[in-house]
């Protein structure tokens, strides 16, 4: 039987746009600007093994909703992967994160609505290799 990962941790976050920002503006800013601000930090370069953004597809989600699927109010999902929770927390505690990343987040997302969870994971199928 597969086992949950113990050598890495992932934090997932459901991301909500700031009030008054369209989905397109949110997605474009997050993809092109915020990602670069985040990735520019030395602590991120040292500690992150994987950073993924999932931009919710409004067209396909409308079709899912028509089938009766409950959709999240978030507009995207981020996954950060590191060797340990300590390495992830080091990023959020870094003064440069507070100086550069947190203020940049205020330009496009509503942090009060962000939902996050630390996870262990198991992969059942991976045909990408």
The structural domain count of the chain equals 1
pLDDT over 70, % of the chain = 99
The residue that leads in pLDDT, 36 or 61, is 36
pTM over 0.85: yes
Tell me if 127 is assigned to some domain: no
Q: What is the CATH number of the domain that holds 100?
A: 3.30.70.100
Tell me if 124 is assigned to some domain: no
Residue 129, pLDDT above cutoff 70: no
Going by C-beta distance under 8 Å and a sequence separation of 6 or more, which residues neighbour residue 48? 80, 81, 82, 91
pLDDT of residue 125: 87
What digits encode the pLDDT tens for the residues 25-40?
A: 999 999 999 999 999 9
What digits encode the pLDDT tens for the residues 72-118?
A: 889 999 999 999 999 999 999 999 999 999 999 999 999 999 999 99
Three-class DSSP category at 12 = strand
* Mean pLDDT within 49-77: 90
Tell me if 89 is assigned to some domain: yes
Most confident of 17-31, 52-66, 115-129: 17-31
Residue whose structure tokens are 């199928």: 125
Other beta carbons within 10 Å of 54 = 14
Closest by CA position to 111, among listed 74, 82, 86 = 74
Tell me if 53 is assigned to some domain: yes
Tell me if 2 is assigned to some domain: no
d(CA 62, CA 31): 22
Tell me if 107 is assigned to some domain: yes
Going by C-beta distance under 8 Å and a sequence separation of 6 or more, which residues neighbour residue 40? 100
Residue 4, pLDDT above cutoff 90: no
CA torsion 20→16→44→40, rounded to 10°?
-20
Q: Domain limits at 33?
A: 9-119
């Amino acid at each position: 039987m597969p086992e949950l990962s113990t050598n890495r941790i992932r934090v997932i976050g459901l991301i909500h746009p700031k009030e008054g920002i369209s989905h397109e503006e949110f997605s474009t800013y997050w993809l092109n600007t915020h990602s670069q601000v985040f990735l520019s930090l030395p602590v991120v370069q040292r500690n992150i093994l994987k950073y993924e953004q999932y931009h919710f597809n409004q067209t396909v989600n409308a079709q899912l909703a028509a089938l009766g699927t409950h959709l999240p109010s978030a507009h995207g999902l981020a996954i950060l992967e590191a060797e340990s929770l300590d390495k992830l927390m080091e990023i959020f505690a870094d003064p440069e994160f507070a100086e550069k990343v947190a203020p940049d987040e205020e330009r496009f997302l509503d942090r009060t609505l962000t939902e996050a969870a630390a996870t262990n994971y198991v992969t059942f199928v991976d045909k990408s290799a």
